[in-house]
Amino acid sequence: MTTAETRALVDIPAELLPLIPLPPLTVLSDARARGAECVWGGEPLSTATAIDLGERDTDGSHWFPRACRPCARRAVLVARNDHPGLCEQCTDDTGRCEAGRALHALVLELRR
């Protein structure tokens, strides 16, 4: 059994990653593109605290954005607030949208 010191890393589900807008690769420094620094704020990251934003592939370049928790929270909050306007399921019935619910849950998780 694992004793969960539950300030655990937040794992962003793969299906939510495309909903969270990142800065374009062209404006990012090398350190931000390879996940050494926060992709949004440029804070230095450690493996213990960084939030993984998945491997990206842009015009043949592989990059590995990561973020600090406060920036990730802000970005996910924006994604959540913008989501209903972009989502057909939400236009229909917000309560039944999995993605909307998952984004909301992620905001709460990042708030801790």
Which amino acid is it at 79?
Answer: A
DSSP strand pairing (61-63 vs 56-58)? antiparallel
Among residues 2 and 84, whose Cβ is nearest to Zn ion? 84
CA distances from 66 to 41, 96, 98 (A): 11, 30, 24
Beta partners for 62?
57
The smaller minimum CB distance to Zn ion, of residues 60 and 95, is found at: 95
User: Nearer Cβ to Zn ion, position 30 or 59?
Assistant: 30
Q: What is the closest distance, in whole angstroms, from the C-beta atom of residue 55 to Zn ion in the complex?
A: 19
Q: Which residues bind Zn ion (CB under 5 A)?
A: 38, 40-41, 43, 68, 71, 87, 89-90, 97, 99-100
Give how far the C-alpha of residue 20 lies from the chain's centroid of Cα atoms, to the nearest Å.
6
Measured from the CB atom, the residue of 8 and 86 that comes closer to Zn ion is 86
CB of 69 to Zn ion, least distance (A): 8
In angstroms, what is the minimal distance from the CB of 72 to Zn ion? 7
Smallest distance from the beta carbon of 47 to Zn ion, in angstroms?
A: 15
Q: Which helix (H) or strand (E) holds 63?
A: strand 61-63
Distance CA 25, CA 41 (A): 14
